[in-house]
Amino acid sequence: MKKILFAAAILISANLFAAGKSTNEAGILLKFKQIKGDSVSHISTVDEETYINGYLNSKTQFINRTTTTVKETHEDDCATLYTHYMTTQNSLVNGASETLSWGEEDFVTIKRKSNGELSDSDNDSLPTVRSVPCFPQEPVKIGDTWQAEGSEVHDCKELFGMKDAINVPFTASYKYEKDEEINGIKLNVISVYYEFSQKSDGKEYYSTYYGTEGWAKQTIYWDSSKGDLDHYTEDFVIAMYDVAGNQYVFKGSSHGEVTEYKSVNDDTNVEKLQEVIEKNNLDNVSVTRGEKGLTISLENIQFEADSNILLPSEQEKLKKIGSILKDFSNDLLITGHCAERGTVSARQKLSEERAQTVAQFLITNGIRDEYHIFTQGKGSTQPVASNDTEEGRARNRRVEITIMD
């Protein structure tokens, strides 16, 4: 079910304090800031168990990465948001190759009022939780409660063969619980709880879907000094039924964090990075702009023959590149490539393993933690030179490090 929470709903900065009201006695106005060009990144982890007719079927960990940008603001108190989603269900593995694979990607454009209400999504499956949080129009104090409408969206193409996603409305109950200091930062703690239930309206006879029900309990931690979400936690249960009476239960917990990010994908940063590369005498290393961000390409990267073990010389090169990457806070995508040797499946596997090796080296050396670095392998599908010569094959044996936008 892989709930993707708060992806377009609370990623943009919020002006939590009304003008002239900075104490809890005056109350706090919970209101989203709608400024064109504002962007944030969100990483959430969902640990989920699936039960079929009461029996445990699987345990899965999903990692959801989103980036949201305010594209336009409007006079009717709405803003147009654009969000890029990436979801991977690769569970973290133990050992030296502990990395996250780059997974499925999707996009959505949606409108949001300053109180958090969402509308006009151009993707019927995203975001999966809508209009949460949704704030009152007046300031609130510790202990205050309110209710607001929202909905859960469930994509049941695989489970029930349905063409359209299921949109299940609910009424969420909110409470401003307290203020709490974490790591020296004062955070506003808000609880959210909702239940939902829906049966088929008879329009889905081509599917086996009968109904769904469930609940979710969330705790939101706001950083009022920045006007941003700091992090959140959630527990949830979703039960779905088919017309034969079979029950599918998705039970789990999630947590996520939001960070501001700035686009690095410009010619100025390309020139800056290239100057540093030349200064450090890094051979066979180049920088280019691309759809996902700035890419540092390490051609002819040296591994032990037919393996993913880096040679010592390449480790030194990566340490120098790591010092460059520390100047950027954006997530990293590591992509492995191979020359056209061996079988297609062997090349794919080797390219993935080499990307994981580079990623793990950067994690071990403190460049990024494991939740902000992703890997993928492309086998020999994207050559930059001919595979007919050794020089060309050497260029095609490369690893690319993309500083993500």
For the segment 49-94, what is each residue's pLDDT rounded down to a tens digit?
999 999 999 998 898 999 999 999 998 889 999 999 998 875 544 4
Adjacent-strand bridge partners of 60: 48
pTM, 2 dp: 0.80
- Among candidate residues 396, 399, 285, the one with its CA nearest the CA of residue 342: 396
> What's the confidence (pLDDT) of residue 301?
82
pLDDT, one tens digit per residue, over 140-180 is 999 999 999 999 999 888 888 888 899 999 999 999 999 99
pLDDT, one tens digit per residue, over 192-223 is 999 999 988 665 545 788 999 999 999 999 88
Token readout for 127 is 């975001």
Helical H segments across 224-343, by residue range: 267-279, 312-325
> What's the confidence (pLDDT) of residue 15?
38
d(CA 332, CA 375): 8
d(CA 50, CA 165): 19
DSSP labels for 19-79?
Answer: TT--STTT-B---B---TT-EEEEEEEEEEEEEETTEEEEEEEEEEEEEEEEEEE-TTSEE
Contact criterion met (CB below 8 Å) for 61 and 46 = yes
What 3-state DSSP class applies to 196?
A: strand
